[in-house]
Structure 1
Amino acid sequence: MKTHLKNSPPIPTPLAGLGNIRGITGREVNAIQEQLGVNSTRELIPLISNGRLETVEGLTPLQVKNIRQALKLYKNANSRYLRWDAHLIGEELLRAIGRFPEVEKVLLTGSLRRGKDTIGDIDILVQLSEADRRKLLYKIARMPQTEGIIAAGPHHFCVVLRNQMQVDIRLATNKYFGASLLYYTGSVKYNTDMDELAASKGLKITPTGLVDSHTGEYVAGEKEEDIYRKLQIDFITPELRENHDILNAAAGHHVPPLVTFNQLKGDMQIHTNWSDGAESIASIAQYLSHAFPHYHYIVITDHVSASRDNHILHTEDIFRQAAEIDRINAAMGYDYIKKGAEIDIGKDDNTTLPDEILQQFDWVIASIHSDFSSDNTSRLIKMCENPYIHCIGHPSGRLIGIRNPYPVNWDEVFTRAAATGTAMEINARPKRLDLNDTLVRQAADKGVKIVVNSDARNLTDFDFVKMGISTARRGACNKTDILNTGCWDEIEKFKATKQQLLKK
């Protein structure tokens, strides 16, 4: 950690937080204040974003970098992480920090707790006594994941990992852990709305508790739920704490009970070594029946394509694969594995397979794998109107950070999907998360059923479905919105309903 020089001037009180940053003394803070004319960190931030910090005489490039990092102003679109990657790193850090005897509790906060598609950095909240702060700082600085400590204040450590990801660790005692968890989970807009609600009741939300605005008296803060109770609104799950009109629902006690991972009855898009997967059907069935005991069924949906020759299930192998599934089900003693396919939606709006073959599958997904720049509204609607297409796979075609969604009139597509009884997928692969949360809510509001799938190619991919559930929760979906929370009899009823709707 940095040490202040004996002849370094005192740090101006409004900018005292800068003094917690490595390599920054009173001399640098005074230079920033005098040369940029700022009297608070809030005034400084837009000037940093405009490149003015680099003009301050006496600041080295390393000091500028450390200030930017500590204030989270060094990121760009290319430095964001997929939620899945950040989740894995975050969970590893929780396990490491949680093993320290000083730590009473440790949780993720920020955008990762809210389940955003991409993450700029990891936010963590640690509960411990104030007397143990220095011990924790010493141990975090020496974790194998840590490259360095950028800043260390009384209630905050800013850590850079060896992979260059930033971690902001906030500290709280038991008395105000819940208040800090609420405050540092965000989002900024949600916190602003909560501040306004609290102010209307004569209260104020701070990281150290819900307090009386006039007396400063502590009112609540050990648990988030205590604060919501004092504000007389329903608890709002983190995934909904974005720029939504959720507080009105909470005030009216209308917050929906959101779908959970354990409510899923099956995964309905799985690829095997018959096409582009790495595992056999038997190994997948054995793994999932033990690792995901709440699954009642799984659907094998190998790729069937007219435009690709490699890594597909060839039409002459469809019935051989079906026979293998029958053999494995017989050995397991029940009808666990369902027969499905993922087919291409052709440029001419036609399917890869004729209807007489499609109708023999238990479940058919149609997906666009070509012509990503065109308006694909008509292609999706045409699939909805086929009685043997049950679901549209990764409907928007996006690959996060790689490819934008293709143009689609979603109002038209979702209206037709609801009218024909066609499901829409949340493809939970980390680069897809498609549909996204906004489109999920739009589809569900139209009455379209959603299916959450892993789109797995190997055994480790099956955990992706948890990210898909998080996306469904961000879209305010409850159990009844998600088709594969139902047993297979309900899936069959869904399919039969589609047949009836298209006969009208």
Structure 2
Amino acid sequence: MARANETVAALLQEYADLLSITQGDAFKARAYEKAARAIAGHSSDVAGLDAKGLRDIPNVGKSIADKVAEYLEGGSIAVVEEARTAIPPGVRELVAIPGLGPRKAMQLYEDLGISSVDGLLDAVTRHRLRDLKGFGAKTEDNIRHGIELMQKAGGRILVSSAMDVAEQIVAELSAIDGCVRCTYAGSLRRMRETIGDIDILVAAEDSAPFMAAIGELPQTAEIIAGGAKKTSVRTTKGLQVDLRVLPPSAWGAGLQYFTGSKEHNVRIREIAVRRKLKLSEYGLFHAKSGEMIVSETEREIYERLDLPWIPPPLRENRGEIEAGQRGELPDLVTDADIRGDLHTHTDLTDGVSTLEEMVAAAAARGYAYYAVTDHAPNLYMQRMTTEKMLAQRDRVRALDGTHGRMRLLHGTELNIAPDGSLDWPDDVLAGFDVCVASIHSHFTQSRDELTRRLIRACESPYVSVIGHPTTRRIGKRPGIDADFDAVFEACARTGTALEIDSHPERLDLRDEDILRARKYGVKFSIDSDAHSTTHLPYIRFGVGTAQRAWLTKDDVINTWPLGRLRKFLAAKRPRA
């Protein structure tokens, strides 16, 4: 079963938004936002905690703990329900538009009577917003873009949310007698960043037990359609899951077919036709006689078509078939290749786990090295100081070597200011083992300004990695408008790595950007950007994105042995 933390965190975040709309109480809203983040990242399921256990979660005091307990006992929180009734539903819908925010949403309702996304889009088209206080032509453009972003996402969900559901269902169905094999397929197996629905495949002689079981799972809200070979259900969170049961003898063909992509499969079927063969979800057949040739494994299907097995993340018809025919498919980076994490946070800034907890969790993952990179002073809300940073460095040095052979690196996530400058002077930066530099504000600068800003950060002799380079948040905030080809060239020239931020809301760089950057000779760092111990496993999604971009472990600096990594980090720095 899924943890209650996600649902509770979503409720508290919603209440924070409602408070911002109804009361304008930024301090109280911020308190609930912090509590929501802390609960989402807490290592234990809040459903199993007593009152004291809830209060022990960072940023969760008695009042918030009581509300969490109220939800766990009765399934709702009275103050949230009351706040909902005070706000027209359409205004809550507007808050979901990237870049709008609760206060502006309420202003639009009060001043213009706008209470729907369609109504807002009409008002933007007719330029009704630009004369409102706090708005303008630029704001209208941003809102229009935010609406387009939200509509483009449609009913798709983040890969992490889909993976949680899929793995739970696979585990449940795999335990049923008669299950020979069970896995997820479709865009989830290809590690797309967002997922429309989930495809689950089972290999079994008798489909009936599985069709019955999926309808009875706790996460199933309704059965959309049922049958002997396929059943579709909708989960309690509105996600469609399609279950197909295949004969074990047809497993390979079915897995290949239902993994996709459509474009990849069209090409594969064209190759089959040229060989006077027919490929379907049931197998590879002689076109004329109908005789089965192979069907049991994917590898057999590809080999019979004179192709190597093509890893699912590559199956997008972006040259993978031609590369396979030439024998030039890359040996893709894997989760097992990751030797360390170079971008993580603790509760010293905006994380929710302590330094000791984060280090222990990293060691449990078998890492050879691990970097702590809390925020730097110019992100003022995090209240970092040089004194705090130096005290943390002493703690990191004291912990180094206490978890087997894992080595600890003390780093920082710097803020790239609007002019491209960084938080600390060079003499302070020289004391860090690794510096990640990221943009956290002023996202709407001009294209030239944003480009110069990033390039100046690349040219710092102490910046090793540019963190979440486009700053996007999937479905919430578009990436910045910079000349990234110029940035990629600067990274290659200066020996600065680009981050693949593995947080499912970011996945930044995205696969298309990585493919472009790689052509310049850029190296990459796949990091979790973890703000709690529960975020460290996010690295799998960054690896999936890297695989979609054809990266090998030689392209990724945190797959390298520590000695090679240290040489890379030191290469830019002035020689003593």
Normalised to the residue count of structure 1, the TM-score between the two structures is 0.81
Select which of 219, 241, 248 maps to 2:315. 241
Counterpart for residue 266 of structure 2: 192
- For 2:296 and 2:404, locate their aligned partners in 1 and report how far apart those are by CA, in whole Å: 50
1:71-150 correspondence to structure 2 within 5 Å: 77-129=153-205, 132-150=206-224
Cα deviation, residue 334, structure 1: 5.7
Cα deviation, residue 121, structure 1: 0.8
Q: Deviations over 1:48-95 (max 9, x none)?
A: xxxxxxxxxxxxxxxxxxxxxxxxxxx973321100011011100101
Question: Percent identity at matched positions?
Answer: 35
- For 2:542 and 2:377, locate their aligned partners in 1 and report how far apart those are by CA, in whole Å: 25
CA contact (8 A) 1:233 1:252 kept: no
- For 2:504 and 2:406, locate their aligned partners in 1 and report how far apart those are by CA, in whole Å: 30
- For 2:152 and 2:390, locate their aligned partners in 1 and report how far apart those are by CA, in whole Å: 50
Cα deviation, residue 135, structure 1: 2.8
1:478-497 correspondence to structure 2 within 5 Å: 478-497=552-571
**Secondary structure at the counterpart of residue 329 of structure 2:** coil
Q: Deviations over 1:205-256 (max 9, x none)?
A: 1011011122211111100000011001111000000130110001111111
Is 2:499 the counterpart of 1:425? yes
CA contact (8 A) 1:104 1:127 kept: yes
Select which of 428, 440, 457 maps to 1:357. 428
Counterpart for residue 384 of structure 2: 313
Give the total of aligned pairs. Answer: 423
Q: Deviations over 1:345-369 (max 9, x none)?
A: 0011111111111111000011000
1:158-307 correspondence to structure 2 within 5 Å: 158-290=232-364, 292-293=365-366, 295-307=367-379
Cα deviation, residue 332, structure 1: 4.5
- For 1:388 and 1:244, locate their aligned partners in 2 and report how far apart those are by CA, in whole Å: 36
Counterpart for residue 49 of structure 1: none
Cα deviation, residue 330, structure 1: 5.5
CA contact (8 A) 1:423 1:448 kept: yes
- For 1:182 and 1:274, locate their aligned partners in 2 and report how far apart those are by CA, in whole Å: 47
Deviating beyond 3 angstroms after TM superposition, the runs of 4 or more aligned structure 1 residues are 330-335
**Secondary structure at the counterpart of residue 293 of structure 2:** strand
Amino acid at match of 1:454: S
Aligned Cα root-mean-square deviation (Å): 1.7
CA contact (8 A) 2:182 2:200 kept: yes
More helix by share: 2
1:334-345 correspondence to structure 2 within 5 Å: 336-345=407-416
Evaluate the alpha carbon distance shift between residue 110 and residue 333 of structure 1 in structure 2; reply closer, same or farther with a 3 A threshold. closer
- For 2:339 and 2:452, locate their aligned partners in 1 and report how far apart those are by CA, in whole Å: 32
Cα deviation, residue 465, structure 1: 0.5
Cα deviation, residue 333, structure 1: 6.9
- For 1:417 and 1:337, locate their aligned partners in 2 and report how far apart those are by CA, in whole Å: 25
**Secondary structure at the counterpart of residue 572 of structure 2:** helix
Normalised to the residue count of structure 2, the TM-score between the two structures is 0.71
Counterpart for residue 329 of structure 1: 400
The worse-fitting range, judged by mean Cα deviation, of 270-279 and 140-149 is 140-149
Amino acid at match of 1:373: T
CA contact (8 A) 2:350 2:531 kept: yes
What runs of 5+ residues in structure 1 fail to find an aligned partner? Answer: 1-74
Is 2:517 the counterpart of 1:446? no
Evaluate the alpha carbon distance shift between residue 188 and residue 339 of structure 1 in structure 2; reply closer, same or farther with a 3 A threshold. same
Counterpart for residue 22 of structure 1: none
- For 2:293 and 2:456, locate their aligned partners in 1 and report how far apart those are by CA, in whole Å: 58
- For 1:140 and 1:415, locate their aligned partners in 2 and report how far apart those are by CA, in whole Å: 51
Select which of 444, 461, 471 maps to 1:397. 471
**Secondary structure at the counterpart of residue 241 of structure 2:** strand
**Secondary structure at the counterpart of residue 473 of structure 2:** coil
Cα deviation, residue 139, structure 1: 2.3
**Secondary structure at the counterpart of residue 554 of structure 2:** helix
Evaluate the alpha carbon distance shift between residue 334 and residue 256 of structure 1 in structure 2; reply closer, same or farther with a 3 A threshold. closer
The worse-fitting range, judged by mean Cα deviation, of 385-394 and 280-289 is 280-289
Counterpart for residue 40 of structure 1: none
CA contact (8 A) 1:276 1:312 kept: no
CA contact (8 A) 2:363 2:406 kept: no
Amino acid at match of 2:329: V
- For 1:388 and 1:151, locate their aligned partners in 2 and report how far apart those are by CA, in whole Å: 58
